[in-house]
Amino acid sequence: MKLQYRVCTAVLALAGCAQQEHAHHGEHAGGPMMHHHGAYTPVARQGYFFTGGEYRAAKDGNVMVGQMFVQYQIPHHRSSPYPIVMIHGGGQSGTNFLGTPDERPGWADYFLRRGYAVYVVDAPARARSAGSVEVLGAPSRRAAQWVSDRFTAPEKKPLYPQATKHTQWPGAAVPGDPVFDQFYASQVEQLDDPGVGERLIRDAGAKLLDRIGPAILLGHSQGGPLVFTIADARPKLAKAVLAIEPNGPPFNEVTYSGGSAFYKDGPPSRPWGITRNRLIYEPGGAQPPQSALEAQADGPDLVRCRLQAEPARQLVNLRTLPMLVLVSEASYHAPYDHCTSKYLKQAGVAHTFARLEQHGIRGNGHMMMLEKNSDEIAAFIERWIRENVR
Please report which confidence band the pLDDT of residue 22 belongs to, taking 50, 70 and 90 as the band edges.
Answer: very low
**CB distance 76 to 115 below 8 Å:** no
Question: What type of residue is 322?
Answer: P
CA-nearest of 195, 193, 196, 246 to 218 is 246
* Strand residues in the chain grouped as ranges (E): 28-29, 33-36, 39-58, 61-75, 84-87, 118-122, 139-140, 190-191, 215-220, 238-244, 251-256, 263-270, 281-282, 291-293, 306-308, 314-315, 323-327, 352-355
Residues 236-264 have pLDDT tens digits of: 999 999 999 999 999 999 999 998 899 99
The neighbouring-strand residues paired with 119 are: 72, 85
- Write down the pLDDT at residue 2: 34
CA-nearest of 302, 295, 372 to 332 is 302
Give the whole-angstrom CA distance, residue 122 versus residue 140: 16
Active-site position among 221, 291, 328, 374: 221
DSSP 102-118: TS-B-HHHHHHHTT--E
| Average pLDDT, integer, range 74-87 | 96
Helix (H) and strand (E) counts in the chain? 11, 18
CA 180, 182, 185, 186: dihedral to nearest 10 degrees? -100
Residues 82-102 have pLDDT tens digits of: 999 999 999 999 999 999 999
Give the whole-angstrom CA distance, residue 262 versus residue 300: 10
Please report which confidence band the pLDDT of residue 23 belongs to, taking 50, 70 and 90 as the band edges.
Answer: very low
Q: Is the pLDDT of residue 233 over 70?
A: yes
CA-nearest of 45, 96, 48 to 73 is 45
Grouping H, G, I as helix, E, B as strand and the rest as coil, residue 362 is coil
Number of other CB atoms surrounding residue 132 within 10 Å: 14
* Strand residues in 215-356 grouped as ranges (E): 215-220, 238-244, 251-256, 263-270, 281-282, 291-293, 306-308, 314-315, 323-327, 352-355
221 is catalytic: yes
pTM of the model: 0.91
Give the whole-angstrom CA distance, residue 7 versus residue 5: 6
Grouping H, G, I as helix, E, B as strand and the rest as coil, residue 79 is coil
